[in-house]
Structure 1
Amino acid sequence: MAKYQLRKTALDILIRVGENGGFSHLLIDQAIRKQGFDQRDEALLTEIVYGTIQRKLTLDYFLDSFLDRRKKIDGWVKWLLYMSIYQMHYLNKVPDHAIIHESVEIAKQKGHNGISSFVNGILRNMQRNGFPDFSTIDDQAKKLSVETSHPLWLVERWISLYGVDTTEKMCLANLQHKSISVRVQPMKIARDKAMQELMEEGYEVESSIFSPQGINVLSGNVLKSRLFHSGALTVQDQTSMLAAEVLAAEPEMTVLDACSAPGGKTTHIAEKMNNRGEIHAYDLHSKKAKLVTTRAAELDLTIIDAKQADSRKLGEVYEAEHFDRILLDAPCSGLGVLRGKPDIKYHKNEKDIHTLSAIQIELLEKVSALLKKGGKLVYSTCTVDKAENEAVVQAFLSNHEEFKVDTEFVNELPEALTKAEGLSKWGLQIFPYEFDTDGFFLTRLTRM
């Protein structure tokens, strides 16, 4: 492998994410496949990229103290500095002098001697003088924003919605690694047997409280396991598994999954139905709808018909009151999944939340007309914002007396979830710090 290849690859990914809006998780996967890194290098690459993006605002605060702001710096140089500072401050396995040496060499190869001298000067200055602390920041929201690298508008918004304590816990949780979770395909293997096989392969696992099909993988790359390659496992966050559990679809039912890609919830519903009945799955983009078809085939599930469509127009395809069950996992800001997709927090703003909220209400209005009397509709998002969650449900119910929140779903939840902080008469808001999961909201409506 070429000299400095790992950190040059990390820098390339960071530039593509930071300057061009690429998605970190996709670029990391592509790089690992292309470069053929071993397991240790793969882990380090992932740590440097995710960590640097996750802590970007904090790293910028550190860097600011050592920069002459009148000096214009190329974007790639700034990302090289961020990446180096992240390693110096947050990783302790590689000594500072080795980090500085590699960064200077990369700067020399990518730029010229002037840039490498500049990078060397900044990093050595930091090494000598140490990093500034946060105690000089008087404003509470600003301090939390800088310390946990969340945009100030977002911290202020969360404080207004939930208070300082909950906001701080959310921000800190978003900086922590989350263990991966998987779901068994129960027609192929029972959860207990799957856990036994994974442990025999050397994985550390535990059962999930969110779904009788869920397994938390505490150590080991489960994507390399025999069970995953045989189509017996699906990677899915625990909170996401709740959607199919709460939907309570049964064999022979006719089900609509209105926003189905990439197919994790859709395939879970099919498994709950024992692959008997009909699931009509839609996504706005044909490429994404194909992902659902592919995932269903990998799991040997045949009742899913995935197509491209704008679900707001499905009233032109189906008669009113056609479906026994409807899942609307609505497009949202994604502010509940910042642990796994940290770049999201830098690309969103308050206006996006209000735009999405309007789309969510419209989707709910349109697809609800397709639910049979006595049917159940689950509305879910992977965000933690009231405007996209409780407020959408309230707005919908205020215009639809024929619907109500089916509070029975609470009695079907695992006991631990009935004590969740965000449980209200409108639904269940899970915060990322409560169960070491993504942030997630869901509720179940029924048509009277």
Structure 2
Amino acid sequence: MAKYELREAALELLTRIGEQGGYSHVLLDQEMKKRSLSPKDGGLLTEIVYGTLQNKLKIDYQIAPNISKQKKLKPWVKWLLYMSVYQMLYLERVPDHAVIHEAAEIAKKRGHKGISGLVNGVLRNIQRNGVQDPSEIEDPAKKLSVETSHPQWLIHRWIDQYGFEVTKGICFQNLKHLPMSVRVQPLRISRDKAAAELAERGIQTENSEFSSQGLIITEGNILNDPLFKNGQLTVQDQSSMLVAEMMSLKPGQDVLDACSAPGGKTTHIAEKMEDQGTVYAYDLHKKKANLVNEKAKLLHLQSIETKQADSRLLSDVHEKESFDRILLDAPCSGLGVLRGKPDIKYHKKEEDIYALRGIQDDLLESLAPLLKVNGKIVYSTCTIDKHENMQAVQHFLEKHSEFEIDEEFHNELPAHLQNSQGWSEYGLQIFPQDWDTDGFFLTRMVKRKPSF
């Protein structure tokens, strides 16, 4: 790559993500494809972008004392400082003097000599004065906010819901790398055979305890492996795999997946049904519905019917009591997946949680009549907020006496999850620190009598 090109690419991405609300995983993926980066350069770009986002508030704590409060920095200058300090604090293989020199040169190229001097001065001050220790902060919530780069409103919200120790566990776990896990397509290859083939090519795995189809990658790059490229396995977090496992599926059923994109759970449902029956997969956006279709084709699954629709209006499409099973993997705040999408914690606001809850309530309300008597509905989210999870389920059950929590749900969970700290009468809350997965909620309700 040309001189400074990789850092300039990182700066461009960070500015777009931080200031314009772009999604880190989407923009990074596009950038890698556009530039055809080598694995080494791609790894460094990913490290700088995700690492800077992951630790932004802690980095800001280092930068703030070195900039006059009156000084208004342009967004790109601020992000140049953030990514440079990240490299100085966390990337041992890049010497500080090289980081400072490169930052000053980029500043000169993008701005002028004055900006270059400011960037150089701030970074040299930090290098000279050493790192400020957040442990000196007296307020425990503020200290945790700085140490783990989570906004204070989020820290206070989790403390109110779960207490300080659980919150501390969530925040520190969110700074750790999330192990990649994959799901085998069992109609095409067994888990044991897949693991053996991968091992021959230097990719080491462990069996997941969440799904009989799951493998955790402990060493090697799965994304270039033939099994992945040929659709014999697909990337999916372990907690997400639990959804289809807990839907009590049988071949030949009619199943509705109301919010199906990008299709990981949809295709898992079809696999659990041995590709017999029909999975009706809907998504609000046509482009996202197409992603589900592409995933089904890649995995050689025929039983999935994909369409674009607002699932709140599906009673116009399907008769009452049409489905044996319904999955509502509801739109949510995403606060359980901050390890892979750290930008969420800065973009989300408390009012977003309440707005999303309105959509979750509407979806449950609209889908309830479509379930057969004695049918089962699984409600899941990738958030750890009680308002979107337990309280949403409680609210629904209070309004719908024909539904109850399926008493078999708890006993059908994998043994290690049955006594989890996140278990409640309304379902299972998985915290990221519990099993080194994404944070996730799921529950299963059964319909005992007709809807009126």
Q: Fold-level match, TM-score > 0.5?
A: yes
List gaps (5 residues or longer) in structure 1. none
Question: Helix, strand or coil for the counterpart of 1:373?
Answer: strand
In structure 1, what residue type is equivalent to 2:378? V
Counterpart Cα distance in 1 of 2:258 and 2:120: 53
Question: Normalized against structure 1, the TM-score is what?
Answer: 0.99
What corresponds to 2:29 in structure 1? 29
What corresponds to 2:382 in structure 1? 382
Query: 4+ residue runs of structure 1 moved beyond 2 angstroms?
Result: none
Task: Measure how far apart 1:135 and its partner are.
Answer: 3.0
List gaps (5 residues or longer) in structure 2. none
What corresponds to 1:419 in structure 2? 419
What corresponds to 1:141 in structure 2? 141
Question: Helix, strand or coil for the counterpart of 1:48?
Answer: helix
What corresponds to 1:315 in structure 2? 315
What corresponds to 1:131 in structure 2? 131
Task: Measure how far apart 1:114 and its partner are.
Answer: 1.4
Query: How do 1:291-302 residues align onto structure 2 when only pairs under 5 Å count?
Result: 291-302=291-302
Task: Measure how far apart 1:59 and its partner are.
Answer: 1.1
What corresponds to 2:79 in structure 1? 79
Counterpart Cα distance in 2 of 1:199 and 1:401: 52
What corresponds to 2:6 in structure 1? 6
In structure 1, what residue type is equivalent to 2:4? Y
Query: How do 1:140-219 residues align onto structure 2 when only pairs under 5 Å count?
Result: 140-219=140-219
> Residues 401-444 of structure 1, C-alpha deviation per residue, up to 9 Å, x if partnerless?
11110121221111111121101111000000111100000000
Counterpart Cα distance in 1 of 2:176 and 2:284: 32
> Residues 110-162 of structure 1, C-alpha deviation per residue, up to 9 Å, x if partnerless?
11211111111111111010121113322111111111110110000000000
Are 2:401 and 1:396 aligned?
A: no
User: What percentage of aligned pairs have identical amino acids?
Assistant: 60
Counterpart Cα distance in 1 of 2:106 and 2:13: 14
Task: Measure how far apart 1:36 and its partner are.
Answer: 2.2
Counterpart Cα distance in 1 of 2:383 and 2:135: 31
What corresponds to 2:334 in structure 1? 334
Counterpart Cα distance in 1 of 2:247 and 2:445: 10
Task: Measure how far apart 1:333 and its partner are.
Answer: 0.4
Question: Normalized against structure 2, the TM-score is what?
Answer: 0.98
Are 2:243 and 1:239 aligned?
A: no
Counterpart Cα distance in 1 of 2:340 and 2:73: 29
**Contact 1:65/1:132 (CA < 8 Å) preserved in 2?**
no
Counterpart Cα distance in 1 of 2:18 and 2:382: 23
Counterpart Cα distance in 2 of 1:77 and 1:132: 21
Task: Measure how far apart 1:219 and its partner are.
Answer: 2.1
Q: Between 300-309 and 128-137, report the one with greater CA deviation.
A: 128-137
Task: Measure how far apart 1:31 and its partner are.
Answer: 1.5
In structure 1, what residue type is equivalent to 2:389? N
Task: Measure how far apart 1:12 and its partner are.
Answer: 1.0
What corresponds to 1:433 in structure 2? 433
Query: How do 1:271-310 residues align onto structure 2 when only pairs under 5 Å count?
Result: 271-310=271-310
How many equivalent pairs are there?
448
**Contact 1:261/1:288 (CA < 8 Å) preserved in 2?**
yes
> Residues 370-428 of structure 1, C-alpha deviation per residue, up to 9 Å, x if partnerless?
11111111000000000000001111111111111012122111111112110111100
Counterpart Cα distance in 1 of 2:52 and 2:71: 23
Are 2:126 and 1:121 aligned?
A: no
